[in-house]
Structure 1
């Protein structure tokens, strides 16, 4: 960091709210290289979903001076466990999926949104397996998608390279944003993924109870999930929607 850059403890706190999640990493060396890529950009929160081998000497070796990131990394069994407390979860994908989730056309736009949310809440960027990335079910756990615009004739990035590119975008956005605590009431903040998932489950239950959906229809539910992801309701707005659903649910229960 240049000597003329002065950041407060609050600024550093924002970076600590930005999480990198690796899903089922096969080569432990990629975990170490990811830790090094993160530390060069000031990121420290690494969560691993079912890695093939961890802890591992190769991960520690390739982390070089970022062994603290490796040592503090958390291992969880599901992606839901990794991101349930996050308000914005961006799945890094080399290609657009059939799921109609909002997609950031440019990584810098994604980074700006993540940094804005990190003033108050946890956010995450999720990376998939080395060979085939994230599954559709895992993308569905995210609120947004992002792709790195590479050479269309040769767009292959290894895992640590992809982490480095997006981590650099995050750091650039963090440096460009104004310093200091921009206060925002809790009810105006974005809901966590856990809160959104509970809402989606509630919505699904009411749609089936009401007869709006009479048989399994994953595409309809995915489209509604995408609609609310694009709308980005606040916690207060989500609470209003849950209240509406609860009222409808009660009316349905009272029907003969």
Structure 2
């Protein structure tokens, strides 16, 4: 579905903005970038500011008109900071836009179109769009950098996709956050109980001290790595106990 969502940049003046937009796209799983008459591209500044999103830049298409960039799209959403007199459907909130985009992208290409850094999209270019969207911002200073605008709308699209039923998204859990198995936790509890007995910490067999400590570690939910560290700590303490 995300592969059907196209980012179109019209006559971008600063090549660094192209690279930064590519970076914003890649962080949100978008890969299709189309450039309409960029002032300078390819450019080392675009590569530098892409911060590793070189594959998005390498696969970018360059076309001579906005119409050529979106001719096959079933929905074309123009990002505009100000309302125009053209009677296009307008999204006041990007999340509403994203829901429709995700729905349409299930079967056909859709495009999010961004205009020039200084002047945005012309009225003729707006006429190539089926919808408009604005990003709510401070009324006294609503100026967004081009790549920031791309990031916001790309995030909303990715968020809508994550919440849809037809996706395989899952946060990658770091290794240090993997919980221990039941067997590993039981080994730790046995090791802890043995050390408490050997050290003389447990002197009253009916005080439920061991049970309470086991409950404490269960509530703490240590990761597999953390439990291994605790086992190492117990072994270090154990080495200082008198040999029996």
TM-score (norm 1): 0.65
Tell me which residue corresponds to 1:107: 94
Matched, 1:175 2:175: no
Tell me which residue corresponds to 2:41: 54
Matched, 1:136 2:128: no
Q: CA deviation at 1:154?
A: 1.0
Work out the CA distance in 2 between the residues paired with 1:29 and 1:64: 11
Partner-residue secondary structure (3-state), 1:82:
helix
Q: Which runs of 5+ in 1 are unaligned?
A: 1-13, 181-256
- Deviations along 1:6-47, whole A, 9 cap, x unmatched? xxxxxxxx0010000000000000000000000000000000
Work out the CA distance in 2 between the residues paired with 1:45 and 1:64: 17
RMSD over aligned CA atoms reads: 0.7
Partner-residue secondary structure (3-state), 1:22:
strand
Choose from 56, 72, 93 the match for 1:85: 72
Matched, 1:27 2:8: no
TM-score (norm 2): 0.68
Work out the CA distance in 2 between the residues paired with 1:121 and 1:108: 20
Work out the CA distance in 1 between the residues paired with 2:6 and 2:140: 31
Work out the CA distance in 2 between the residues paired with 1:118 and 1:101: 20
Tell me which residue corresponds to 1:118: 105
The structure with the largest alpha-carbon Rg is: 2
- Deviations along 1:232-252, whole A, 9 cap, x unmatched? xxxxxxxxxxxxxxxxxxxxx
Choose from 65, 78, 89 the match for 2:52: 65
Tell me which residue corresponds to 1:37: 24
Q: CA deviation at 1:64?
A: 1.0
Q: CA deviation at 1:107?
A: 0.5
Q: Write 1 or 2 for the structure with the bigger share of helix.
A: 1
Q: Which runs of 5+ in 2 are unaligned?
A: 168-244
Work out the CA distance in 1 between the residues paired with 2:157 and 2:71: 21
Q: CA deviation at 1:73?
A: 0.2
Work out the CA distance in 2 between the residues paired with 1:108 and 1:51: 29
